[in-house]
């Protein structure tokens, strides 16, 4: 049984079919990449899975049970956590307090001790210990991304949805974050990553899904995807195809 199953899901905004009859499954333990040009419908797909916006037509199953129509907090408590394309830590709070919100959100009946343990472990995992008491305003962009991951991980999810966590980072920071994401995966977290940084998504993913104009146009290993003419066409249109290969290989 798949951990997550998306079946013929649709969502439109006015006249725009943002997600069009999309079906895919994610198995436990996988890292799956979700790529596609700007406006392809990737974030909308993530918003539908996490319940932020309602599905118009189709079904989404988590661990075999339908989650379509549930509120975001119910979906989160079932074990799906996410990050946002625009990082938004709670201002005026410390790093530690921000991570604690994730842990508190998870369940009503954890003891203070249990919460502290989750928070400490999560901050160590995302290498934020030294910043624990810092106000979030003092964090660099890369550190804010680590915090965003820590907040999601403190919910102890089974499935983690990451929306462009690499955006704006330099090469060294990207490599660090890739290493941390692999570490989360080693802890049995299944991960769906939306990413424009090809080096990261190709390097991390076992399998890649490609969206274009709301539809799923290809699915395969990073190697298969980087050679797929439909994908190359979607990314480059009439531009030279060589450019895409240069981008995915480096
Ligand atoms: N809340 C909304 N209201 C109206 N239109 C929306 C809304 N959210 C998304 N759209 C439209 O749906 C389409 C898909 O947008 P979406 O944000 O899912 O794309 P994306 O693949 O995440 O793009 P990007 O790579 O730029 O983040 C776009 O045409 C977008 O303008
Ligand atoms: Mg997006």
- For residue range 162-184, list pLDDT tens digits in order: 999 999 999 999 999 999 999 99
| pLDDT score at 250 | 45
Tell me which residues have their CB closer than 6 angstroms to ligand 1: 13, 16, 18, 36, 38-44, 85
Q: Which residues of the chain have pLDDT under 50?
A: 238, 240-241, 249-250
- Name the closest ligand to CA 163: 2
92: domain range? 88-156
Nearest Cα residue to atom 24 of ligand 1: 38
Indicate if 10 and 49 belong to the same structural domain: yes
CB neighbour list of residue 230: distance below 8 Å, 6 or more residues apart: 210, 212, 217, 218
Find the 34 Cα to ligand 2 centroid distance in Å: 10
Buried b (16+ CB within 10 A) or exposed e, 49-80: bbbeeebeebebbbeeeebbebeeeebbbbbb
133 CA distance to ligand 1 centroid (A)? 36
Please tell me whether residues 65 and 109 are part of one structural domain: no
Nearest-angstrom CA–CA distance, 83 and 149:
7
Do 162 and 243 share a structural domain? Answer: yes
Neighbours of 227 (CB within 10 A): 14
pLDDT score for 245: 55
Q: Which residues of 151-170 are buried (b: 16+ CB within 10 A; e: fewer)?
A: bbbbbbbbbbbbbbbbeebe
Distance of CA 45 to the CA centre of its chain: 11
Inter-CA distances, 82 with 48, 70, 130, 199, 204, Å: 12, 16, 24, 22, 17
Question: Please, which residues bridge with residue 32 across strands?
Answer: 192, 207
Q: Which of 110, 133, 156 is the last residue of a domain?
A: 156
Q: Are residues 224 and 167 in the same domain?
A: yes
Same domain, 188 and 64: yes
Neighbours of 200 (CB within 10 A): 21
Task: For 63-91, write each residue's pLDDT tens digit.
Answer: 999 999 999 999 999 999 999 877 777 88
Asked if 152 and 82 count as a contact pair (C-beta separation under 8 A), the reply is yes
Query: Do residues 163 and 149 share a domain?
Result: no
Same domain, 164 and 232: yes
State the ligand closest to the CA atom of 36. Answer: 1
- pTM of the predicted model, to two decimals? 0.92
Whether 75 and 186 share a structural domain:
yes
Last residue of a domain, one of 117, 140, 156: 156
Atom 4 of ligand 1, nearest CA residue: 13
For 115, the token pair is: 């919460």
């Amino acid at each position: 049984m798949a951990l997550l199953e998306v079946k013929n899901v649709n969502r439109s905004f006015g006249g725009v079919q943002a997600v069009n009859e999309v079906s895919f499954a994610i198995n436990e333990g996988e890292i799956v990449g979700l790529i596609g040009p700007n406006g392809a419908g990737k974030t909308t797909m993530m918003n539908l899975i996490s319940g932020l916006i309602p599905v118009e037509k189709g079904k989404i199953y988590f661990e075999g049970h339908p989650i379509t129509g549930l509120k975001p907090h119910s979906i989160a408590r079932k074990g799906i956590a996410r990050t946002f394309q625009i990082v938004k830590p709670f201002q005026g709070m410390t790093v530690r307090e921000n991570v604690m919100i994730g842990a508190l959100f998870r369940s009503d009946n954890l003891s203070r001790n249990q919460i502290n343990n989750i928070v400490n472990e999560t901050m160590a995992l995302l290498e934020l210990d030294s910043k624990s008491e810092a106000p979030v305003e003092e964090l660099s962009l890369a550190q804010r991304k680590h915090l965003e991951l820590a907040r999601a991980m403190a919910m102890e999810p089974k499935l983690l949805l990451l929306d462009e966590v690499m955006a704006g980072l330099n090469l060294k920071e990207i490599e660090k974050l890739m290493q941390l994401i692999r570490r989360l995966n080693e802890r049995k977290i299944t991960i769906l990553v939306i990413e424009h940084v090809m080096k990261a998504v190709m390097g991390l993913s076992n399998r890649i899904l490609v969206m274009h104009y709301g539809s799923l146009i290809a699915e395969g290993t990073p190697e298969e995807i980087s050679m797929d003419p439909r994908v190359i066409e979607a990314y480059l249109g009439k531009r030279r195809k060589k450019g895409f290969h240069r981008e995915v290989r480096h």
